[in-house]
Amino acid sequence: MAVKEPKMGRLKGGANTDAEAEKLTLSQLELLVSGAEWRFEHGSNSNDRKLAFKRLTWLEAQRERLHGIPAPSRRLAGRQPPEAPE
């Protein structure tokens, strides 16, 4: 039996849909969040960091939806509004 290749953009071994996220325990979800956070902070280029950021915010939203842990407010560095002068 041939093994199907994952669709482009899907993370092998992780949750990629709401239904898949619902099957994870809180500790498994926390592990995925910490991995995405590490990839965001240590990405080798801006595209890698952007993809990791999108994954991180999605995982944090799933954690909030499923376990009630508030997702932090995050923005990409280039997308933040300018700070108000003091």
- For residue 66, which amino acid is it? L
Q: So what's the pLDDT on residue 29?
A: 92
For residues 41-69, average pLDDT: 92
- CA dist., res. 73 & res. 65, Å (int): 15
pLDDT at position 81, please?
61
Question: How do residues 1-52 score in pLDDT, each as one tens digit?
Answer: 554 444 445 555 678 899 999 999 999 999 999 999 999 999 889 899 999 9
pLDDT at 70: 93
Q: What is the 3-state secondary structure (H, E, C) of the chain?
A: CCCCCCCCCCCCCCCCCHHHHHCCCHHHHHHHHHHHHHHHHHCCCHHHHHHHHHHHHHHHHHHHHHHCCCCCCCCCHHHCCCCCCC
Q: What is the pLDDT of residue 10?
A: 53
